[in-house]
Every structure is written in structure tokens, then in C-alpha cells.
Chain A
Amino acid sequence: GAGVSQSPSNKVTEKGKDVELRCDPISGHTALYWYRQRLGQGLEFLIYFQGNSAPDKSGLPSDRFSAERTGESVSTLTIQRTQQEDSAVYLCASSLGGSGGLHEQYFGPGTRLTVT
């Protein structure tokens, strides 16, 4: 079946521009996560959506970052006024959610963002 998809796969933007990254989770997955991964580094948690609950935004690094999710489907991560330090791979993951968090996450291929 279809996995988690992300678009675009690569994005090059000029400093100061806004960018929007998209994630299509696996159908039926109620939990959705966004992470940032700098080159060769670990995962930096950004935001977590679980069903209709208020999202956990505790990982967003600044108010330039925001994310939305439409119901239990598509999510978009928006970065305003991009800075060079925003350059990274942005990963999206989804899981069945509920059931107390016992389900594994399925990751998308990521969007590689380069801010020049």
C-alpha cells in the first residue's frame, strides 16, 4: 500500500522567503509528526498531531514555524522568512495513534530544504 509521501522532495529557497512543506500520511493514521534532521544529526521533534486533540507544538523552534493538519489527512509545515539555519531535511511520520501510543511510526522520504 501507499506509504507516507512528502512534497517537494527538494526545495531551494532564498533567505527571507516563505516555504510550505506537505505531508500525506498513510490513510487511517491518526497520529502525525514533523521532525527536522540536520546533516548527520539526530531527529529534532517539531510538532505532533493526534486525532482531534490540540497539537503539541512544543518543538517548534520559533514563531516563524507553523503547521496545520486537515482532519486526519494532509499536513503542511510552513516556515516564514526562512533563514540559512533552517536548512535541513524535514521528515514527516504517521502512525495509527490511539491505543496508548503502541504503534510504530512510518516515515516519509523527507523534504530537503536549502536556504541560500
Chain B
Amino acid sequence: AQSVAQPEDQVNVAEGNPLTVKCTYSVSGNPYLFWYVQYPNRGLQFLLKYITGDNLVKGSYGFEAEFNKSQTSFHLKKPSALVSDSALYFCAVRDPRNDKIIFGKGTRLHILP
């Protein structure tokens, strides 16, 4: 079955420290992978995506994600966390059978001042 998993419900990071939000996937064929962010009381926004090419993808707000085919992972990273990064983060993957996008259950990121 095509699926995406975010193993952590919540991640706490001190401001200024590097952050990682984990995502693993299971799809047939080449994966198309996405990260979205939902800030408090705001809509969902696209952060970045991997379709093909360089395994390290850079996106909005200083975030980046690394595609690792052997580990079927697409972890979201940022070198230095800001309090304003506190939000709900969703990983998503395309189901190649019908191009439907499947979302993970989300990871709540808390950046501690």
C-alpha cells in the first residue's frame, strides 16, 4: 500500500539548535514527496518538494529536506530553529496509481525560547 509515516507526534527543539522532522514513505515507482506547514490559526502552506534530481531540496523559510532512497526517507531539516517555526508539519507523497497526494498525520514542532 502507498503510505507516508511521520513517527513523531511532537518534536521539541531549543531555539538556535538544528531541527529535524522525520518522514518515511512507501510507494511503488519513483516517489514525489512534499512538505507542508500549518502555522497556528493559518492555512496550510507548501514548503518544498522532491520530484527528481539533487537529493537535497531547499524550500521556504530556510527549510530543506533530504531524499534518501535507500532509507525511504524525506526528513525535513533546518540548521537553526526559530521560535516562529513552531507549527504543525505535514509530509506527503504522491500515489502513482492515481496521482493522489497522501498526507502523513503531522508532527507538531515546538521551538523553545
Which residues from chain A sit less than 8 Å from chain B, CB to CB?
Answer: 31, 33, 35, 41-43, 45, 48, 50, 53, 56, 91, 93, 95, 97-98, 100-102, 104-110
Return the chain A residue nearest B6 by Cβ.
Answer: A42
Question: By DSSP majority rule, is chain B's interface helix, strand, loop, or mixed?
Answer: strand
> Are A102 and B32 within 8 A (Cβ)?
yes
Q: How close is B89's CB to chain A, nearest CB, in angstroms?
A: 11
Interface residue total, chain B, C-beta cutoff 8 A: 22
Q: How close is A4's CB to chain B, nearest CB, in angstroms?
A: 9
> Are B101 and A105 within 8 A (Cβ)?
yes
> Are A31 and B103 within 8 A (Cβ)?
no
What residues on B are CB-neighbors of A102 within 8 Å?
32, 49, 51, 94
> Are B104 and A42 within 8 A (Cβ)?
yes
Which residues from chain B sit less than 8 Å from chain A, CB to CB?
Answer: 32, 34, 36, 43-46, 49, 51, 90, 94-96, 98-106
> Are A50 and B99 within 8 A (Cβ)?
yes
Q: How close is A6's CB to chain B, nearest CB, in angstroms?
A: 10
Partner of A48, one of B46, B100, B104: B100
> Are B100 and A101 within 8 A (Cβ)?
yes
Q: How close is B88's CB to chain A, nearest CB, in angstroms?
A: 8
Partner of A107, one of B44, B94, B99: B44
